[in-house]
Amino acid sequence: MKVLRDKKAIALFLSPALLVYSVLVMIPIALTFYYSVLDWDGLGEKRWIGLGNFAKLMRDAVFVRALSNNLVYILIVMLMQLGIGFLIALLLTYLKKGRGFIQTVYYIPSVITVIAVAQLFTSFYSYEPIGLFNIFRKLFGLAPIAFLSEYRTVLPAVASVEGWQYIGIYMLIFYSALVSVSPDIIEAARIDGASETQLLFKVRIPSITNVILLSGILSLVGALRGFAAPMNMTKGGPNHRSEILATYMYKKAFTSRDYGYGSALAVVIVILSIVAVLLISRYMEREEI
């Protein structure tokens, strides 16, 4: 136990992990900030332009479209992951049998590669040959639609893929939190005449507020970094209607070979992620006071 109080020993044990984290995360982030102030194609001569790339962002209509799309993308993903995940977790607390089976079924998609899930949903959304979702539409007397080609449906269709895939993770997090609420508190509330709705909003949810907020951070940052599904399914199309910051960054850096501008987009994603985490963390601190 003395070792755990020795600051030198703590530093020694932490140093390997800190070194790996610095090499794989901190140094690339620092280099991205450096590249964002350059005019560079990734291979040729670097030219310092200061905040020129960021000024260009403000005049870029596609960036504005991607940013607004990202906000909608985040909203859909978080509503699905947190909302549906919490609802399933709550229902599981009332189940007596089959709980493990349901948890496994909902968790399986989260361990499947995103590309495979994206390909699966692309076939589900297909207009010709007709996909599963359009088959259901025909059964209800509705005309088939091209989910991934129409402006009004493409962004929700793409966002729903990431939202659906990781519902199982948040279901398990919420379920673990809900069952950890003291049975004595719940029983006391029932004796006082509290209904199940009152138990939910007055006892259970307040007891797991921090878990909900932490899950919100994970879901928000994950959605902000979303890339594989929209890139694989639509590549940001049609006409940038499903373009988000990550896909636009990739295109600028690796397709257009404007590495400096792509790095500026990456910096925006990093800053937005940090700001979102700080705001939620600040709210958590205020709730604890």
Q: What is the CATH number of the domain that holds 85?
A: 1.10.3720.10
Q: What's the confidence (pLDDT) of residue 284?
A: 73
Asked if the structure places residue 206 within a domain, the reply is: yes
CB atoms inside a 10 Å sphere around CB 45: 8
Report the alpha-carbon distance of residue 70 to residue 94 in Å, rounded: 36
Asked if the structure places residue 123 within a domain, the reply is: yes
Q: What's the confidence (pLDDT) of residue 278?
A: 87
Residue that is written with structure tokens 């960021």 in the block: 54
Asked if the structure places residue 46 within a domain, the reply is: no
**Residue numbers of the chain with a pLDDT score lower than 70:** 1-5, 287-289
241's CB contacts (< 8 A; 6+ apart) are 69, 151, 154, 155
116 to 3, 36, 73, 121, 153: CA distances (angstroms) = 47, 33, 20, 9, 21
* pLDDT digits 0-9 by tens, 223-237: 988 899 999 999 999
Residue that is written with structure tokens 């703590």 in the block: 10
Report the alpha-carbon distance of residue 10 to residue 201 in Å, rounded: 42
Contact 74, 223 (CB under 8 A): yes
* pLDDT digits 0-9 by tens, 51-96: 999 999 999 999 999 999 999 999 999 999 999 999 999 999 988 8
Nearest to 165 by CA among 211, 115, 213: 115
Asked if the structure places residue 217 within a domain, the reply is: yes
Report the alpha-carbon distance of residue 267 to residue 263 in Å, rounded: 6
Asked if the structure places residue 11 within a domain, the reply is: no
42 to 31, 137, 245, 255, 264: CA distances (angstroms) = 12, 47, 20, 11, 14
Asked if the structure places residue 101 within a domain, the reply is: yes
Q: Residue 176 pairs with which residues in a beta bridge?
A: none
The token pair at 209 is 């507020």
Asked if the structure places residue 15 within a domain, the reply is: no
Mean pLDDT of the chain: 91
CB atoms inside a 10 Å sphere around CB 70: 24
- Number of structural domains in the chain: 1
**Angular region, 57: left φ>0, alpha ψ -120 to 50, beta rest:** alpha
Domain with 224, as residue range(s), is 59-287
Asked if the structure places residue 17 within a domain, the reply is: no
CA atoms lying within 13 Å on the CB side of residue 152? 1
